[in-house]
Amino acid sequence: MYKIEFEGLDDWIQENNIGRVLVQVPLGLRPQIPLVVKYLKERNVEPIISTGKCWGACDLAYGEARAVGADGIIHLGHAKFTISEEIPTFYIECRIANPGPLLEMVDMVSEAIGKEKVVGIGATIQWIEHLDLFAEKLKERSITALTGKRGPRTPYRGQVIGCDYTCIWSIIDKVDCSLIIGSIFHGIGASLTTSKPVYVVDPELRKIREVNSEVEELLKRRYTWIELFKNSRRVGVLIGVKPGQRKIDSAIRMKNILEDRGKEVDFLTVDELNVDQLDNLPYDGYVNTACPRLSIEDQIKFRLPLLLPSEVLIACGKLKWENTIYSARYLIS
């Protein structure tokens, strides 16, 4: 199902004198581990498999690699996050080999959105190379597909990740709706950046689904958490320690703004955020400067507000709610 391509890996091994390497693999790709291990052992490279969670290219296991004396990291399933590397890292993107499941959904898409429409399209890295072919098939159904520019965190035109939907919102004024090829997770993220309809096309489940009503309910809940946060006296500002989530400047800015509002503020580090980590801490609310999707997907697990920086600015009167939602600013401020 996936293309595990080793092109360039031999050169990378030689250039970086790789004798031992940490292999990072997301849960869904772990059946591919034996193939990677075999390739490395044939080249006298010792592979060590990380059992840690692997959420994206922002989540590089530098600490694990150093702990086991690895010379580099091989990271499966994601494209480079355009961050500087602390340890040499080789990305195997694991794209879908067969476009068939996606192309079989063209008629379903046409029925769902109607003909004579202009749509913005984006895809996760697994489907990215079939995006142009998908657009051609949509054109045959009288649907014009546009793709916007690549984002600061995405190396490919048309690529979406959980916190970057530049290819969608950069053309939003030109389209009637947007199509996200991937999962509900990516569709909800895209819908947070636009009030226009967003459809998720999931070729693996053979389903198409509009997500705007779900996002409307989500935003109502976010507004409630913002209102609750206003009453917080003591606030913890979370600083992510994952390489691509380490936004210290943003954390400092949040601390300064909140202290100007008379709140007591402390910095807290966070890696894998869970309920236990925040239990028994002396805070009334939190600001999340790490992965923005922690606040979107995981807020329900916590009894206290876990606000995004943009939501803090709304709570402090520096941004207006109506000018912030349905914009890129909501996720990345």
pLDDT at 82 over 80: no
Confidence at 294, pLDDT banded by 50, 70, 90: very high
Percent of the chain with pLDDT over 90: 93
pLDDT of residue 244: 92
Q: Mean of the per-residue pLDDT values for the chain?
A: 95
pLDDT at 311 over 70: yes
Q: For the chain, how many residues are written?
A: 333
Report d(CA 177, CA 184) in Å as an integer.
Answer: 16
pLDDT at 32 over 70: yes
pLDDT of residue 333: 65
- 142 CB-side CA count, 13 A: 5
Contacts of 189 (CB under 8 A, 6+ apart): 160, 162, 163, 165, 293, 296, 331
pTM here is 0.93
Residue located via tokens 């909800």: 188
Confidence at 84, pLDDT banded by 50, 70, 90: confident
User: How many other β-carbons are positioned within 10 Å of the β-carbon of residue 180?
Assistant: 29
pLDDT at 8 over 90: yes
pLDDT of residue 279: 86
pLDDT tens readout for residues 88-134: 999 999 999 999 999 999 999 999 999 999 999 999 999 999 999 99
pLDDT tens readout for residues 168-207: 999 999 999 999 999 999 999 999 999 999 999 999 999 9
Structural domains in the chain, CATH included, are 2-95 (3.40.50.11840), 100-210 (3.40.50.11850), 215-332 (3.40.50.11860)
Residue located via tokens 């480079």: 80
Percent of the chain with pLDDT over 70: 99
pLDDT of residue 276: 87
**CB-based burial label for 267 (10 Å; 0-12, 13-18, 19+):** middle
**280/258: higher pLDDT:** 258
pLDDT of residue 190: 96
